Structure 1
């Protein structure tokens, strides 16, 4: 795999600082009177204070969905993506950002990893990319395969989620009978595969993201301290 944005020398520090900054902002903003308190008068921590890492994860994916793919977002998504199975959302978002910033082949690698693990959004995106043929050469078989896997994705069906009608309409008349038959064959043989870092480069990038969380400084007497969990 190509070297994955190895601007990561400072990314682990950046992520930790972002987590701590989230604490500082949420703990100090609004003043004590504006914060909710419990029956004993103690300030109730916000969701961001209770789970700064989760908040950072969600914000980075949301930023990627809006096309806000600056270096910070790329670094954060890269570190989460290298955690492997369970972080397919970050892998999909990283792939989107890489494509948005011109690294098409590397972006497709990450989207394929997430789609191969069964992540519905990645499967849908891959189908669209193979059908359009802009980011990667058009491939009707792969487009139909990932479209079928997306529309039959058990994680969506279990929630009663129906595929986007505009998505299904885009495939009408675009796939030949032969392509459709081959796609059916590949879908029948498909099973999820979960990516884990294996190469030396993978391990080096993963280690560069391994930092221990620290407690933020206590800024107010009445703001309870919350230990930041290990980020990686």
Structure 2
């Protein structure tokens, strides 16, 4: 006796296969066909694998390129308010605010990142206190931040050679007393990690919140079902 296969299973399998075919023929939303590996499997983009990390990197790149638009500032602020681990956003936010002539709050954000040990923020503060244009000129302050920057363990571990122009200028400017004071401050320094005590507006807080994109059909499951279907399951 031959049993009739239930109709709903055929429909379900057909739906999955149609979904798989649609996925295989679709294009990348950013343009161009989706990339496949040597086995023909779809390869997710970096944005699909890590959308939040991509947004973070892209926003910092925009700020570094001089884009300090309200949208960029809002996203930087959102990331900066996450505290420790987002010192890059705090540094970029500080630099953008300085470009917008908001010196006091710009230096504040740089200090938050520099206190946590972020080398770019430490370098920026060394320049600021040496030049005396954005904040009051202070040789000891400049020398302290410069020492923290040029001896920063994260740079040394990566083999990055720090810039030496501030060091050269300070060598000619510092008195014996100023040099000793900066060295004492350097020796006593310990990282401090800023955490926000206030909340962002809902609008700003939403700018760095990323939703995961919906995934297509599970190709492994589709292939498994197709193999099972071809394996003699007619009775």
- Normalised by the length of structure 2, the TM-score is 0.73
- Indicate whether 1:214 and 2:215 are aligned: no
What are the equivalent positions in structure 2 for 1:1-232 lying under 5 Å apart? 27-32=28-33, 35-198=34-197, 202-205=198-201, 209=205, 213-216=210-213
After superposition, the C-alpha distances for 1:158-216 in whole angstroms (9 at most, x for unaligned) are 22222223343233312222221111111121111100012xxx224589516864344
Q: Within 2, Cα distance between the matches of 1:59 and 1:213? A: 13
Q: Within 2, Cα distance between the matches of 1:161 and 1:143? A: 21
Q: Within 2, Cα distance between the matches of 1:149 and 1:178? A: 18
Call closer, same or farther: CA 1:213–1:89 in 2, change over 3 Å: closer
Q: Within 1, Cα distance between the matches of 2:136 and 2:90? A: 21
Call closer, same or farther: CA 1:161–1:58 in 2, change over 3 Å: same
CA contact (8 A) 1:123 1:146 kept: yes
Q: Within 1, Cα distance between the matches of 2:35 and 2:200? A: 43
Q: Within 2, Cα distance between the matches of 1:187 and 1:111? A: 18
CA contact (8 A) 1:145 1:187 kept: yes
1:7 alignment partner in structure 2? none
Matched residue pairs, number?
Answer: 192
CA contact (8 A) 1:43 1:222 kept: no
Report which of the two structures shows the higher radius of gyration computed on alpha carbons.
Answer: 2
Q: Within 2, Cα distance between the matches of 1:206 and 1:158? A: 39
Gaps of 5+ in 2: 1-26, 220-235
CA contact (8 A) 1:42 1:222 kept: no
CA contact (8 A) 1:27 1:49 kept: no
Call closer, same or farther: CA 1:206–1:180 in 2, change over 3 Å: farther
Q: Within 1, Cα distance between the matches of 2:190 and 2:142? A: 17
Structure 1's consecutive aligned runs of 4 or more residues displaced over 6 angstroms after TM superposition are 220-223
- Normalised by the length of structure 1, the TM-score is 0.74
Q: Within 2, Cα distance between the matches of 1:209 and 1:94? A: 15
Which stretch of structure 1 is more off in the superposition, 78-87 or 161-170? 161-170
After superposition, the C-alpha distances for 1:92-118 in whole angstroms (9 at most, x for unaligned) are 000000001111100111000000011
RMSD: 2.6
Call closer, same or farther: CA 1:187–1:208 in 2, change over 3 Å: same
